[in-house]
Structure 1
Amino acid sequence: MTDMPVDPAMWAPAPRDPASLDRIARPNLTYWQDARARLWRNRPAMAAFGFLILLCLAAVFGPSVYSHNYYEQNLQYANVPPAFPTYAVPQGDGSSQEIYFNFGSQKLYLIGADGALGDLVRSSRKDLMRKTQLYTVGDQQVAVDTAKSTLGLSDGKPLEPAGWRWNSLYPLGTDQLGRDELARQLYGARISLAVALVATLVNFTIGVLYGGISGYLGGRVDMVMMRLIEIVSTIPLTLYVILIMVTLASGFSAVILAIGTVYWVDMARIVRGQMLVLKEQDYVAAARSMGASTWRILTRHLLQNTVGPILVTLTMLIPSAIFIESFMSFIGLGVSPPEASWGTLTSAAVETLRTHPYQLALPAGAISLTMFAFNFLGDGLRDALDPRLRS
């Protein structure tokens, strides 16, 4: 192997700048500033956070500004979907009249010039043997074959589709009693978010303090307090909630009380485990040697260092609280009619699943999206608040 010439400039020492010796290459951020920056870079978590903000705004202000309310009935427009196909009926003067036939409810509607859902047209004659119905639309007779789901004129000429129309009168359609689905969805979101708020307050006030005191004091106090939690935990949470709601009768207040009495147990256990680890740290011994009281050590030193696990656990427990309320309402133990929640909307939509599937898809989709949003936000908070994942 031959020797290659070496360029001395390639091995020259790097220049030294005295002014850059004390320069900090990485920006100096506090713990919460770094956590906020990492959470901001987590796109799924931020998308979930934005969705939850919009959901809260819609639930708080939506029912007040929307033109329809959740209990107003209009049987004329019962079971009308959010979008529907229309047909053009030719008239004698050369114009045409658009119509929509709801095969699920067996009703025919006129479509206005602006595309809005118009008046209901009554059937002029019904032939039950042939499963046909006749309707008078202007100067024409429209025959509807309910067996084949086809529309045509009385002379047998089929009607041409005129395209799809969006339901401008009821953007998300109506239920079997003609109540606006959008208004009921907004009110159901208000019920679910109220349950989430109660779960949050209960976890912070009871679960955090109970678990913090139990873990910090330890000994017999911890043993007695944890035995109480085990007694509550022996009964499944769902069964316990059902027993309370059956005893107190169904209603929103019963849901709140049932969830509030038992929902703090998991949070108390998590906070207790954190306290058992943190109370052995040196800064706790230093605070104790300086004469700090037990309450000050617990609130100013220990609980502040458990905020990360508390927030993560909280975002994971809130979806289960919303699901419990929806399940209780689904089986008839939640809010009472005419009040609406996602659970009651789901329960009512099961009856019309085959003919009007959108009535089940709307509340089920709302529950799923909300639970996904809280889970994505919880994962983002877990990654942002863990210093070991800092890159």
Structure 2
Amino acid sequence: MSDIAPAMWEKLPAGETAAIASAPSLTYWQDARRRLWANKPAMAGITFIILLILAALFGPFFSPFTYYDQNLKLANIPPAFDTYTVTDGQGASTRFFLNASNFNLYEVDSGGHVLGILRGERKDMIKKAQPFKFGDQTVTLDYSKLPAKLVLPDGAELRPSGWSWNMTYLFGTDQLGRDVLVRQLYGARISLAVAFVATLVNFFIGIFYGGIAGYMGGKTDAVMMRFVEIISTIPLTLYVILLMVVLNSGLISIVIAIGSVFWVDMARIVRGQILSLKQQDYVAAARTMGASTSRILTRHLLPNAIGPIIVTLTMLIPSAIFIESFMSFIGLGVTPPLASWGTLTSEAVETLRAYPHQLFFPAAAISLTMFAFNFLGDGLRDALDPRFRK
């Protein structure tokens, strides 16, 4: 029953027609784009990936440091620190911070820029103390008990004047005094290069290999898929180690390893899609009209399977990045002084207890990148699924 009173119903005058309100008609790709834009995690993933690409490509050009510049005097500096201020008899003030892990004092300016290491007097190894002179003022670094503290001549402890961000090295420095931020950006370049190689390999080998196997069927399919099964049974780690016997350790070996075996999952998925699509009527019609095998694959079958292909491709990219990071972590990836997220993580594990920030940044970069691609893959899966179309 309608809630509208009968008195509210009126007949249209003769010659007039009712206007029908309808939503605008959207194509499949327009509707998929609309649903993808409405997916907030997927859009956050796309935004992060775009920013990561821009930072990796152009970020190092804005830094005065390179990934191999070393300054042992400024090693293991944190990205933020407590600053101290000492004023001598002439009214001159000196700002510095204490690195409690290596018992060094570093001078900084009011803007948080690191000016250099401060040289103290001779250390008293028995009392575990070292005096520092600032004009006629003396401050003693007492590290007899941890944490170390700064003591004034009257015995009072010098208190910090406030926190300050490290504006010279935004992410701090590593154990060799290299800028962690620049090395992070170069590591992003390597990870993105691996992702690009994995995308090309999956697209040009996995898609067409699986497409041919699925469309041809019969003995051709059996032989081609047995070859895929042989490759997939070899552990990737063992395969990379075997490559190291022939090739030197480095990015080239990782690229060759990923390029030669990473396409098998894509080939299996594409084969399954083609097996289900080749029974459709439009394929039989194209075959009846004399279309070649390559035309049927490229113009009819693969375009109709592009949704699962894109989703799978997006999901496989973080796997390739993780494989490169893991190989570099165990020493089978890029060689020093080249930087990748895996090598940065491996180096930071050695100093985890003293300098946890060195492990935080590469670990966060790997995690956020994998989350971004997974969110994007989930969003594409929902957007390209015709069952969700409205």
TM tier relative to shorter chain:
over 0.9
Relative to structure 2, which stretch is displaced further, 145-154 or 312-321?
Answer: 145-154
CA contact (8 A) 1:125 1:135 kept: no
1:54 aligns with 2:51: yes
1:200-211 correspondence to structure 2 within 5 Å: 200-211=199-210
Task: Tell me the TM-score normalised to structure 2 length.
Answer: 0.94
1:250 aligned residue: 249
Residues 178-236 of structure 1 deviation map (CA, whole Å, 9 limit, x = unaligned): 11111100000000000000000000000000000000000000000000011111112
Query: How far is 1:18 from its partner?
Result: 5.4
Give 1:102's match in structure 2, choosing from 69, 75, 99: 99
Indicate how the Cα distance of structure 1 residues 162 and 388 shifts in structure 2: closer, same or farther if over 3 A, else same. same
Q: Distance in 1 between matches of 2:12 and 2:315?
A: 53
What's the Cα RMSD here? 1.8
Query: How far is 1:168 from its partner?
Result: 1.2
Query: How far is 1:130 from its partner?
Result: 2.5
Q: 3-state DSSP class of the match of 2:157?
A: coil
CA contact (8 A) 2:87 2:134 kept: no
Identical counterparts, % of pairs = 64
1:379 aligns with 2:372: no
Indicate how the Cα distance of structure 1 residues 217 and 7 shifts in structure 2: closer, same or farther if over 3 A, else same. closer
2:80 aligned residue: 83
Q: 3-state DSSP class of the match of 1:129?
A: coil
Indicate how the Cα distance of structure 1 residues 158 and 353 shifts in structure 2: closer, same or farther if over 3 A, else same. same
2:30 aligned residue: 33
Query: How far is 1:337 from its partner?
Result: 0.7
Q: Distance in 2 between matches of 1:59 and 1:289?
A: 51
1:68-147 correspondence to structure 2 within 5 Å: 68-146=65-143, 147=145
1:18-29 correspondence to structure 2 within 5 Å: 19-20=17-18, 23=20, 25-29=22-26
Q: Distance in 2 between matches of 1:24 and 1:294?
A: 45
Q: Distance in 2 between matches of 1:7 and 1:299?
A: 59
Query: How far is 1:241 from its partner?
Result: 2.6
Give 1:9's match in structure 2, choosing from 4, 7, 15: 7
Task: Tell me the TM-score normalised to structure 1 length.
Answer: 0.94
Q: Distance in 2 between matches of 1:143 and 1:287?
A: 87
Q: 3-state DSSP class of the match of 1:135?
A: strand
Q: 3-state DSSP class of the match of 1:99?
A: strand
Q: 3-state DSSP class of the match of 1:105?
A: coil
2:288 aligned residue: 289
Query: How far is 1:42 from its partner?
Result: 0.8
Indicate how the Cα distance of structure 1 residues 301 and 139 shifts in structure 2: closer, same or farther if over 3 A, else same. same
Q: Distance in 2 between matches of 1:364 and 1:292?
A: 51
CA contact (8 A) 2:74 2:116 kept: no
Query: How far is 1:26 from its partner?
Result: 2.0
Indicate how the Cα distance of structure 1 residues 246 and 14 shifts in structure 2: closer, same or farther if over 3 A, else same. farther
Q: Distance in 1 between matches of 2:58 and 2:227?
A: 41
1:3 aligned residue: none
Indicate how the Cα distance of structure 1 residues 60 and 288 shifts in structure 2: closer, same or farther if over 3 A, else same. same
CA contact (8 A) 1:79 1:176 kept: yes
1:65 aligned residue: 62
2:335 aligned residue: 336
Query: How far is 1:246 from its partner?
Result: 4.1
Residues 142-172 of structure 1 deviation map (CA, whole Å, 9 limit, x = unaligned): 1112223211113312112110111111111
Relative to structure 2, which stretch is displaced further, 102-111 or 369-378?
Answer: 102-111
Query: How far is 1:64 from its partner?
Result: 2.5
CA contact (8 A) 1:42 1:380 kept: yes
Query: How far is 1:20 from its partner?
Result: 4.8
Q: Distance in 2 between matches of 1:158 and 1:305?
A: 73
4+ residue runs over 6 A deviation: none
Q: For structure 1, list consecutive stretches of 5 or more residues without a partner in the other structure.
A: 1-5
